[in-house]
Structure 1
Amino acid sequence: MTSLGFLYPGHSAEDDYPRMEQLIGSNIRLGVVHTDIGEDAHRVDALIEMGSAKRLAAGVEELRLAGAEAVVWACTSGSFVYGYEGAHGQVRELARVAGLPASSTSFAFAHAVKELGASRVAVAATYPDDVAELFAEFMKAVDIEVLSVRGSGIITAAEVGTWGEDEVLALARAGDHPEAEVVLMPDTALHTAAYLPLIEETLGKPVLTANQVTAWEGLRLADRRVNAPRLGTLFTREPLVQVD
């Protein structure tokens, strides 16, 4: 049994994790511990506070007691909002406190794009435009070319969590770019685990979504590889690269 730990902010789309655990169908457990988010707002100051060291540290002990072999901060905006260097520092501190390999959803996106051998992406985000642009800047900092950025202006994770198949598919279509090799959908508050094959079939290319890449990142940290086609192209490939 491989046990992975995820620090998930609040309550929005955390039910993607038991769904993904079932779809992986192996001796892998995706354990979720909820962190206190403070103010639910896709606003820079609120996001910085959401990802603060004290809020993340509060959930670490529960993951350790559950036998987690690695921990991932399952929040994109609460990591990339710190910038590349700040997000690195956030992960280093999380690893220190947990005594485990650690990462975050922002780095999971970077690693997953490179795993697919891609370099040109389109961003289809639920966020307001200014926050979506910060995600694009983070991707550029890891040498990924961002061809287009589509924001949706959604302020709260609670609202994003109410979106279903129609809204998710519409966002993916609106955010695609004809020259993009991969479409990125960066919000762990967005339910996507049930829709990945449909989105990829509709767009005709790989799609990376926040909870999907977060689960994959935990597996990468634990040096586990699984084949789970219903979780999209990312879960059907042999690794192309090892990214530190």
Structure 2
Amino acid sequence: MAEATVTDAAVGFLYPGYSAEDDYPRLEAMLAADVRLPLVHTDIGEDAHRVDALLEMGSAARLAAGVAALKALGAGAVVWACTSASFVFGWEGAQEQARELSRTTGLPASSTSFAFAHAIRALGADRVAIAATYPEDVAEHFTAFLKASGAEVVAMRGSGIITAAEVGTWGREEVLQLARQGDHPDAQAVLLPDTALHTAAYLGDLERELGKPVLTANQVTVWEGLRLLDRSVLRPDLGALFASDMP
């Protein structure tokens, strides 16, 4: 592989396994900006939305294994494109995970869990609802993570799906139904936290359906990468998160 010239106009993503990774080239095209979104797959071990499996999936060794390939693609920042295998470590543990990834890469680093926390603040949403594909015990860890960030979770719904492979097969109707079922009248935004879920093509549909901002995992992950690069891209078709020049 020829090594790319490192540029601050490329966000690199470490993505666990194979399920909805095609959201990233789709989002890159939809951004219509001079920003590349290269992606490297990590070895997930056991494909299971189960706490012990997720802790191993997000281990420093598994993430570090993809770093050389990601840097060769010219990344100027890196995001661990996984929600569950970051929030299961808890607020402090997820911070250490991101710090270790930054030390290993020598780049600004974050994860999808922190992307959600930062996106909620950027939208000015105080109360959110979670519409999760995960089993409820795993989704509860996300609830705890968001509460630690200062957000109020007014509703949480888990769907009991064990594998990312199954989530990756969901289409538009399943995604819209998930969001509808997870919404709550008091929620100022609805969160769909699984990066294994295809959502890039449905961002406008989701917000029209619910009449409020909807934050999805791959959407906020890309936004977080742009934030690390101090880049702002206005693309209202990517949802309320991209509809204004947010800090």
Q: TM-score, normalised by structure 1?
A: 0.97
Superposed displacement of residue 237, structure 1? 1.5
User: Given residue 36 of structure 1, which amino acid in structure 2 is its aligned partner?
Assistant: D
The percentage of aligned residue pairs carrying the same residue is 70
Query: Are residue 98 (structure 1) and residue 105 (structure 2) matched?
Result: yes
Query: 1: distance between equivalents of 2:120 and 2:16?
Result: 24
Shift of 1:46: 0.1
Name the residue aligned to 1:178. 185
What is the aligned partner in structure 2 of residue 34 from structure 1? 41
CA distance in 1, matches of 2:67, 2:58: 13
Q: Deviations over 1:120-161 (max 9, x none)?
A: 000000000000111010000011000000000000000000
3-state SS, counterpart of residue 30 of structure 1? coil
The alignment status of 1:77 with 2:98, answered yes or no, reads no
Match of 1:138 in 2: 145
The residue type paired with residue 180 of structure 2 is R
Indicate yes or no: 2:16 matched with 1:6: no
Match of 2:160 among 153, 161, 169: 153
Give 2:171's aligned residue.
164
Return the letter of the residue paired with 1:193.
A
Q: Take 2:142 and 2:132, find their aligned partners in 1: how far apart are those partners?
A: 9
In 1: Cα distance, 2:213 partner to 2:82 partner:
21
Cα distance in 2 for residues equivalent to 1:78 and 1:58? 16
How many residues align? The count is 240
Give the residue type in structure 1 aligned to 2:159.
S
The residue number in structure 2 matching 1:60 is: 67
Q: Secondary structure at the match of 1:177?
A: coil
Report if aligned partners of 2:233, 2:245 keep a CA contact under 8 Å in 1: no
SS in 1 for 2:48: coil
Letter in 2 for 1:53: A
- Segments of structure 2 that go 5 or more residues without pairing to the other structure are 1-6
Q: Distance in 2 between matches of 1:223 and 1:63?
A: 20
Shift of 1:207: 0.2
Q: Distance in 2 between matches of 1:220 and 1:234?
A: 12
Residue 113 (structure 1) aligns with: 120
Q: Which residue of 2 aligns with 1:89?
A: 96
Aligned to 2:10, what secondary structure does the other structure show?
A: strand
CA distance in 2, matches of 1:229, 1:21: 14
Quote the Cα distance in structure 1 between the aligned partners of 2:235 and 2:37.
Answer: 15
CA offset at residue 66 of structure 1? 1.2
Out of 227-236 and 192-201, give the one that drifted further: 227-236
- Does residue 199 (structure 1) correspond to residue 206 (structure 2)? The answer is yes
Residue 62 of structure 1: how far off its partner (Å) = 1.0
Matched, 1:230 2:237: yes
Q: Secondary structure at the match of 2:128?
A: strand
1:27, distance to aligned residue in structure 2 (A): 0.7
Q: CA deviation at 1:58?
A: 0.6
Aligned match of 2:220: 213
**3-state SS of the aligned residue for 2:200?**
coil
Report the CA distance between 1:230 and its aligned residue.
1.8
- The letter for the 2-side match of 1:95 is S
User: Over residues 152-190 of structure 1, what are the superposed CA-to-partner deviations in whole Å (9 max), with x where a residue is unaligned?
Assistant: 000000000000000000000000000100000000000
In structure 1, runs of 5+ residues without a counterpart are none
Secondary structure of 1:172's aligned partner: helix
